Amino acid sequence: MQQAIAILDSGVGGLTVVKEVMRQLPQEKIIYFGDTARAPYGPRTPEEVKLFTYQIVRYLMQFNPKMICIACNTATAVALEDIRSMVNIPVVGVIFPGVRAAIKTTSSGAVGVIGTEGTIRSGAYVRALKEISPQTEVYSLACPSFVPLVEKGLFQGRHTQDEVARVLRPFKDRPMDCLILGCTHYPFLADEIADFMGPSVALISSAEETAREISALLSHRNQLSRQGQEPIHQFFCSGDPKLFQQITQAWLKEQIRVTPVVWQIAQFS
Ligand code: DGL
């Protein structure tokens, strides 16, 4: 049986990574888990986010994947290292890939980062940016209202535009030339964010670079799929499967089937 790449997020945000993996590695089978019943993760404590991430990884390991991608910045910030020591397959996060892309893009050395409260509070982006390029000037901002908009499927429209403008206003006059979308949900709002920030600010989504890292790792391990026929992907979510299916199909532009997962109390311990 073809071994899959397992990709997880608190909700639909990780689909931005899924779309890039499908584009760059069309032969690879994907198993996706969106923990929509417990999203957003941003306002939760690091302990809760760690626990939820363990639970999802434990769930996904039953499918014997060849790799795990934590396509959630909030979970990457607090749980990546622990998950790496918990499983014996490669685990990829989304923070370093986004940081590398930003360093490649910026010419002024002034970089903006937007993310959930959890990600911004963790300081993970500032640390990663300074580690690669110590002289980088970093401006960070938490945008707690963005994930709920995306989880409701409100990617465009007047209300979303107004909210994006309201939240990003403090960033408008900063001298940055690129802005990291430090939450995998934010590429869903990329048009509105780009409109507000203007053409002098390049938006960086970690999706492309993360898919490249997955590809390089699989190739290095000689684990790229050589399957001839199209893979059949699997999607799981813990919340409303209809809404999840609707958003997923609109984003990936293909029909999918969703298997709902109901967390049992025992799985919380
Ligand atoms: N998509 C996630 C991230 O990249 C999680 C957002 C949330 O659930 O708050 O951080």
User: What average pLDDT does this structure show over 132-136?
Assistant: 96
Among protein residues, the one whose CA lies closest to atom 2 of ligand 1 = 72
Host domain of residue 22 = 5-93+209-268
**pLDDT of 168 strictly over 50:** yes
| Coil, helix or strand at residue 127 | helix
Residue 263 scores a pLDDT above 90: no
User: Are residues 181 and 51 located together in one domain of the fold?
Assistant: no
Domain limit, last residue, from 190, 207, 224: 207
Provide mean pLDDT across the span 64-69.
Answer: 98
Residues 221 and 152 placed together within one structural domain of the fold: no
- At 42, which CATH number? 3.40.50.1860
Percent of the chain exceeding pLDDT 70 equals 98
Q: What is the total count of domains within the chain? A: 2
Residue 101 has pLDDT above 60, yes or no: yes
Please tell me whether residues 31 and 155 are part of one structural domain.
no
pLDDT tens digit string along 181-216? 999 999 999 999 999 999 999 999 999 999 999 999
Which of left, alpha, beta for 45 (phi over 0: left; psi -120 to 50: alpha)?
beta
Task: Verify that 67 and 197 share a domain, yes or no.
Answer: no
Q: What's the pLDDT at 269?
A: 44
Residues with CB under 6 A from ligand 1: 9-11, 13, 39-42, 72-74, 116, 119, 147, 183-185
203/226 same-domain check: no
Beta strands in the chain (DSSP E): 5-9, 30-34, 67-70, 91-92, 110-115, 137-142, 178-181, 202-205, 234-237, 258-260
Positions annotated as catalytic residues are: 72, 183
Q: Which residue has a Cα nearest atom 8 of ligand 1? A: 40
| 78 lies in the same domain as 22 | yes
33 alpha carbon – ligand 1 mean position (Å): 13
58, 100: one domain: no
**CA distance linking residue 189 with residue 175, whole number of Å:** 22
Q: Which of ligand 1's atoms lies nearest the C-alpha of 10?
A: 8
Q: Give the pLDDT mean for 263-267.
A: 62
> What pLDDT shows up at residue 265?
54
Find the 186 Cα to ligand 1 centroid distance in Å: 9
CB of 107 closer than 8 Å to CB of 177 = yes
Atom of ligand 1 nearest to the CA of 119: 10
The answer to whether residue 266 scores a pLDDT higher than 80 is: no
Assess whether 156 and 244 both reside in one domain.
no
